[in-house]
Amino acid sequence: MLNELSEFLEVDYDKKKLIDKALHPTYCLRSPRFYKDALMEKCEYRIPHTKFCPKCNRKYPEKENFCMDCLVSLKHVSERKPIRDIEANPVFAFKGKNSFEDFKSILTEDNLVRINEFKFTMKDYEKIIKNIKKTSLKNMDEMIKENYVDLNDISTLGNVLLFAKSFVKVDYKSYGQVLGYFENDKIVIDDRQNSSLQITTMIHELAHFLLKEIMNGVLCRLLKCSKNRHIDVISTYILSYDNFTRLIDEYSAHCCEGRFTMYGYQDYSSFLSIVKQMDGEMTPEEIEMTKSIGNNFANTIKDILEIFIDRDLLDDIKDVFEHHNVEKPNYEMLKLENCNRLTDEGYLKAIWLIVTTGFKAAMDNIEKLEEYYKGE
């Protein structure tokens, strides 16, 4: 008797939509006919989705072969690579008419004069930033397409990892004490940390990469040359040879970390350990100035990272963070925050100071640069 009623059945699509939405937040509805067939055959609400459309990313059950909207063959989920396994090889280029083949031809008196004259405006600076943004977007787009990444279906850590890979290679380690480091355009992250710490570490190291890339842009602009490994080594040297530039670099990285996780939780240890070992070499005012300059760089870097980290992702990152960090924010560390920054004019002067003093130091240390160069 009850069975006889089956011929009067039809699917309540509105209800189905609600239930599916709760079960699979990214589920897309297909034609009524599809559901009717699927329900009759399986007699259940949940249909396992083992295939997806490589174009619109809609999910499909195993027995389907094509996406009738996009008119393409479906892919199997096993073809989706985990973000961690995606090979990234991002290339950031700056072009100029000169191309220098070795350190000796870059580090000349003539070039020092060019650097010192500093024909460089905020417009030039903005061009550099735009170039970096464009390249990273292109890199990310390629990765998504080549690996069928479904942005709606990856974890917060996966999301951050994916955008980090639009800039640099990311490797993992499970040894040693440091949480992560950045070297030769590669970020290495310790995967024994919880995901919130991996996210913070990744953003911190990414900030180091971006500051170096900004330096590359400035040098290429001033010397009207294309970027190559020699220029890259000089930029790395400029940011690390002296405590003044190391402090700027570290402070900027700490600030970016705080912006994208939660202020009060970031770890200032690298900055503090440089200050500690300085032994009065810089006055407290000078140290504060490195923080202000660091703020200027951090603002630019945040601006670049915000292409990828929108409000939603930012909220997700904060959720992950709160979940893992039940302690109170570190108010002592918050006292280290400096909220000043330089005007455009002052900022250009700071960049001038960094590159001229750094370039001069590099001229006197070509052997050291050769060592860096070979160290790849």
Q: Cβ closer to Zn ion: 72 or 93?
A: 72
Smallest distance from Zn ion to CB 364, Å: 26
Q: Which of 35, 38, 47, 53 binds Zn ion (CB under 5 A)?
A: 53
Smallest distance from Zn ion to CB 106, Å: 26
State yes or no: residue 270 binds Zn ion (CB under 5 A). yes
Q: Cβ closer to Zn ion: 103 or 251?
A: 251
Smallest distance from Zn ion to CB 24, Å: 16
Of 191-199, 209-217, 235-243, 263-271, the window that binds Zn ion (rule: CB under 5 A) is 263-271
State yes or no: residue 292 binds Zn ion (CB under 5 A). no
The type of residue at 20 is: D
State yes or no: residue 55 binds Zn ion (CB under 5 A). yes
Smallest distance from Zn ion to CB 93, Å: 25
Half-sphere exposure of 125 (CA within 13 A, CB side): 17
State yes or no: residue 255 binds Zn ion (CB under 5 A). no
State yes or no: residue 304 binds Zn ion (CB under 5 A). no
Residue whose entry in the numeric block shows the structure tokens 């001069």: 360
- Which 3-state string (H, E, C) describes the chain? CCHHHHHHCCCCHHHHHHHHHHHCCCCCCCCHHHHHHHHHHHCCCCCCEEEECCCCCCEEECCCCEECCCCEECEEHHHCCCHHHCCCCCCCCCCCCECCCCHHHHCCHHHHHHHHHCCCCHHHHHHHHHHHHHHHHHHHHHHHHHHCCCHHHCCHHHHHHHHHHCCCEEEEECCCCCCEEEECCEEEEECCCCHHHHHHHHHHHHHHHHHHHHHHHHHHHHCCECCCHHHHHHHHHHCCCCHHHHHHHHHHHHHHHHHHCCCCCCCCHHHHHHHHHHCCCCCHHHHHHHHHHHHHHHHHHHHHHCCCCCHHHHHHHHHHHHHHCCCCCCHHHHCCCCCCCCCHHHHHHHHHHHHHHHHHHHHCCHHHHHHHHHCC
State yes or no: residue 29 binds Zn ion (CB under 5 A). no
Of 77-85, 89-97, 253-261, 340-348, the window that binds Zn ion (rule: CB under 5 A) is 253-261
Residue 75 dihedral angles phi and psi, to the nearest 5°: -105, 155
Smallest distance from Zn ion to CB 56, Å: 3
State yes or no: residue 179 binds Zn ion (CB under 5 A). no
State yes or no: residue 70 binds Zn ion (CB under 5 A). yes
Smallest distance from Zn ion to CB 127, Å: 27
Among candidates 340, 175, 334, which has minimal Cα distance to 267? Answer: 334
Smallest distance from Zn ion to CB 99, Å: 31
Smallest distance from Zn ion to CB 171, Å: 17
Q: Cβ closer to Zn ion: 161 or 253?
A: 253
Q: Cβ closer to Zn ion: 195 or 266?
A: 266
Say if CB 289 and CB 354 are below 8 A apart.
Answer: no
Determine the Cα–Cα distance for residues 244 and 287; give it in Å rounded to an integer. 8
Q: Cβ closer to Zn ion: 58 or 165?
A: 58
Q: Cβ closer to Zn ion: 160 or 363?
A: 160
Smallest distance from Zn ion to CB 289, Å: 19
Among candidates 303, 370, 337, 316, which has minimal Cα distance to 155? Answer: 316
Q: Cβ closer to Zn ion: 35 or 251?
A: 251
Residues of this chain, 131-170, that bind Zn ion according to CB under 5 A: none
State yes or no: residue 253 binds Zn ion (CB under 5 A). yes
Q: Cβ closer to Zn ion: 67 or 162?
A: 67
# chain residues binding Zn ion, by CB under 5 A: 8
State yes or no: residue 369 binds Zn ion (CB under 5 A). no
Q: Which of 23, 56, 93, 151 binds Zn ion (CB under 5 A)?
A: 56
Of 47-55, 91-99, 119-127, 149-157, the window that binds Zn ion (rule: CB under 5 A) is 47-55
Query: In the complex, which residues of this chain contact Zn ion (CB under 5 A)?
Result: 53, 55-56, 67, 69-70, 253, 270
